Amino acid sequence: MLNGSQAYTLLVGHYADYDQAKSALALLPQAVQQNGAFVRNFYDIEHTGSPQLKQLQ
């Protein structure tokens, strides 16, 4: 939940460092990049105020 609304995040890939992840982001289609795709450390996501992370298979 984010500000009372359902929010969904798609996590893609494992990278050795931030620069590699940013490089991978730059290879995504322009439409994806323009819709707000971003790189974020998984540790930071886990330690935010209200994460509810669920792995989908």
Q: How far is CA 19 from CA 16, 34, 51, in A?
A: 8, 19, 25
In this prediction, residue 30 carries a pLDDT of 92
Residue 29 to residue 25: CA distance in whole angstroms: 9
In this prediction, residue 20 carries a pLDDT of 93
In this prediction, residue 51 carries a pLDDT of 62
In tens digits, the chain (57 residues) has pLDDT values of 667 777 666 677 889 999 999 999 999 899 888 888 888 887 777 777 666 666 666
Question: Tokens for 40?
Answer: 């974020």
| pTM of this structure | 0.60
In this prediction, residue 13 carries a pLDDT of 80
